[in-house]
Amino acid sequence: MTATLGATPTIVLVGHGMVGQRFLEALAERGLTATHRVVVLCEEPRPAYDRVQLTSYFSGKTPEDLSLTDREFIKDHGIELYVGDPAESVDREARTVTARSGQVFAYDTLVLATGSYPFVPPVPNKDADGCFVYRTIEDLLAIEEYAKKVEVGAVVGGGLLGLEAAGALKGLGIETHIVEFAPRLMPVQVDEGGGAALLRTIEDMGLSVHTGVGTQEIVVGDDGAVTGMKLSDGSELSAGMVVFSAGVRPRDQLARDCGLAVGERGGIAVDEQCRTVTDPHVFAIGECALAADGRVYGLVAPGYEQAATAAATIAADEASFTGADLSTKLKLLGVDVASFGDAHGTTEDCLDVVYSDSRAGLYKKLVIGRDGTLLGGILVGDAEAYGTLRALTGSVPPISPEALVLPADAGAPAQLGPSALPDDAIICSCHNVSKGTIRGAVTDHQCTTVPEVKKCTKAGTGCGSCVKVLGQLVTAELEASGIEVDKGLCACFSQTREELYEIVLALRINSYQDLLDRYGRESARGTDGCDVCKPAVASIIASLAPAIGASGYVLDGEQAALQETNDHFLANLQKNGSYSVVPRIPGGEITPEKLIVIGEIARDFGLYTKITGGQRIDMFGARVEQLPLIWARLVDAGFESGHAYGKALRTVKSCVGSTWCRYGVQDSVRMAIDLELRYRGLRSPHKLKSAVSGCQRECAEAQSKDFGVIATANGWNLYVGGNGGATPRHADLLAQDLSDAELIRLIDRFLMFYIRTADRLERTSTWLERIPGGLDHVRDVVVHDSLGICDELQQLMQAHVAHYRDEWAETINDPEKLARFVSFINAPDTPDPVVGFVPERDQIKPDLPLLTIGLRPAEEVLEGSAQR
């Protein structure tokens, strides 16, 4: 098919990545999709997705979650989007583009958004089986599949993408090496001090880092697959797979082939309007473009600005791209890393203000001009102030530089908040949104929530690093306008979770509907409530059940209707619709007889079994109707629910302690068992994890837990507020050298105080940092009883302990409750046909075939996704 020039001008966009999608949105905003035919040729087998968040695929996000467009946008604007059909050639004289499928499209305006390609060093065997790049979702799918058969992997490159790739391999359970040619990690973004802090933190996570060395050769075996690497210092690494993530290069071959000018080091040369210097009918935007200032910008924010500039120019409006803010804020391997402005102090006669704490993995540096102007900075380990500092760059801050980097507990003056920023300060660099624009969204456009401001201004919809500052500004502006800021739990309750807890406790309210009808918003009374407050109130009632006369069993009466899917079936729902069964194994201590029972159950029901890092044996793949049958056999053998499905205590991990270990100074196994049996079934705002280490060698990793215990020669040290999850945090020492009784008394108080005052879905780590006064206040309350509530907290915990009942046993002994465990209510004997498995390594895995997309318009693809 060949399209010809006609009355309706045609815009052909080559490439549909993040910048390409932003260009389409800019066309739509200017009404150009209504006056032009818009054709998009996309090489990948799926429409635009968020490449910045690519690594989140390994933490549970699906390709659909990462998508940046939808069927409605494409359809409403009449865009012809072809996926899996890239441009093969351009005839500038005829003004046509030929796609791989053979289709030929005529254009009035051609926009190249072809992005970049991964740089792979020219080393021997770089294309061997087991070598990968880290750029697309398809790359990630291939890495994920290959990783199942290797134990060690290596990443070539220690920059942004390299550390993301290393995090992905680590998350796949592979021993991971990072090889970086520069003398430090992230050499573009951080200086020597920042690189040292980053290195310490990453090595503490168990990754091996090799800096100052290059890759000389990929070593392969007789079968042609990767077995290791030779490095430039003569050393060798053993590795079953290699991921190249050593930077990117502009993808400009299409432009070269049609005679467009490119830079000496690549990139399609464009002017300030993003029009190619060779042909006024052709534009280039994003990572493939060499801007007028001689730079190729590899960040999404400059690409968005180029997309807006090109769309404005096509609409005959004045616009120009003369450069961009290169500030970045990322979380790599769970570590906050940010740089902004002149981070390396290249400005003549500038000064540095540095705060460094190697023990905590913190490094903060500000570059200050002689006149006090903030020129730039680097933040590693704590980037909380990034939004404010970046916005202040180029001005003289209203407080001293040291106050901007010192932690609050180090004697620093009051910290500077975003409300002190000038109106022209850029808050969202991705979409170039100023503080004044955000304020205007609140005052002029009556936006009262962060989502409304996002929709109005696009702030916070790019990389997301400005969302926290955005929320603070919205709240400050509402309060300044005399508008009461709604801090209620949800649309049903104007009270916070903490306030609802106090109401339930004081008035002994044991019914969600009673609480809603008496204390809910007027508009919510008489309704069924919402999915936010139902599980939150259910958790409050469950944690206070004995004190308020409620049933502690979550499937009794009204409670059952309040639960989320996992609690509703007392098991974790897995990705293919099956469930996991996780019995409690206190302290990890188990008899041979009980091990045999678990093995027999897994064999008889065909379950996948895995020994976890939390001292449990997980069994996966149970159909919903099989759950009570499995529980019955476990209960008969003396097991009970491990509450892996609930916002409750999961496990108390332990080492072998003084009983077996020659370094142990206390019996950590006994203490772990005592704690797990005491706090089992305790419902809380979020899940709880704990550990007990028998000595300071810390084999149980207690300092990464919500409450952790470490043995000393004089007793026990209690740490609180740790988190080893998506945002790692070391726990803080609450009290030391405690006796058994003192330890349990303080944990009782700490947990009940947390349950009483935390927000919904707030981990102890976040709560400890958010609650006024932080650790000092919590210590005053639970150790020194400054509020006079410790007796009440201990009584509430004692009531929980006295009234504990196993939820699995309760269920299998109640025929009425058992009736819910079917796939189809109207066909209780019919198993769910969607739940399927395939064999892998002598066990099973979910049968989830990958989505394949042919060469067809993307509307069909998006239509299919919507139906699924």
3-state secondary structure of 727: coil
Residue 112: closest CA among 43, 53, 161 = 43
Q: CB under 8 Å to 863, separation ≥6 — which residues? A: 71
| Total Cβ atoms within 10 A of residue 127 | 9
Residue 512: closest CA among 522, 523, 524 = 524
DSSP 820-842: T--S-TT-TTPPPTT--EEEETT
Q: Which residues in 444-480 are b (16+ Cβ under 10 Å) and which e?
A: eeebbebeebbebbbbbbbbebbbebbebbbbbbbee
Rg of the Cα atoms in the chain: 29
Q: What CA–CA distance (Å, rounded) separates 716 from 694? A: 9
Q: In what order do the strands lie in the sheet with 350-357?
A: 328-332, 335-341, 374-380, 362-369, 350-357
DSSP code for 751 = H
Alpha helices in 653-785 (DSSP H): 657-660, 668-679, 740-757, 764-770, 774-782
Distance, first Cα to last Cα, the chain: 32
Annotation-wise, does 695 bind a ligand?
yes
Q: CB under 8 Å to 62, separation ≥6 — which residues? A: none
Q: What CA–CA distance (Å, rounded) separates 775 from 765? A: 10
Q: What CA–CA distance (Å, rounded) separates 609 from 595? A: 12
Cα-Cα-Cα-Cα torsion 673, 676, 679, 682, nearest 10 degrees, comes to -160
DSSP 369-389: ETTS-EEEEEEES--TTHHHH
Q: CB under 8 Å to 310, separation ≥6 — which residues? A: 23, 26, 111, 273, 274, 275, 283, 285
- Token pair 């942004």 in the structure block, residue: 160
Mark residue 590 as left, alpha or beta (left: phi above 0; alpha: psi -120 to 50; beta: remaining): beta
Annotation-wise, does 655 bind a ligand?
yes
Cβ(69)–Cβ(847) under 8 Å?
no
Q: What CA–CA distance (Å, rounded) separates 738 from 58? A: 41
DSSP code for 624 = G
Q: CB under 8 Å to 444, separation ≥6 — which residues? A: none
Q: What CA–CA distance (Å, rounded) separates 564 from 568? A: 6
Half-sphere exposure of 858 (CA within 13 A, CB side): 28
Token digits for 777?
A: 């206040």
Neighbouring-strand partners of residue 96: 91, 106
Token digits for 347?
A: 């400005």
Q: What CA–CA distance (Å, rounded) separates 339 from 332? A: 13
Q: CB under 8 Å to 503, separation ≥6 — which residues? A: 495, 509, 515, 519
Backbone angles phi, psi at 711, to 5 degrees: -75, 145
Cα-Cα-Cα-Cα torsion 514, 517, 520, 525, nearest 10 degrees, comes to 140
Q: What CA–CA distance (Å, rounded) separates 280 from 276? A: 6
Annotation-wise, does 661 bind a ligand?
yes
Which amino acids are annotated as binding site, given as ranges? 655, 661, 695, 699
- Which residues participate in the annotated binding site for siroheme? 699
Going by the annotation, the residues of the binding site for [4Fe-4S] cluster are 655, 661, 695, 699
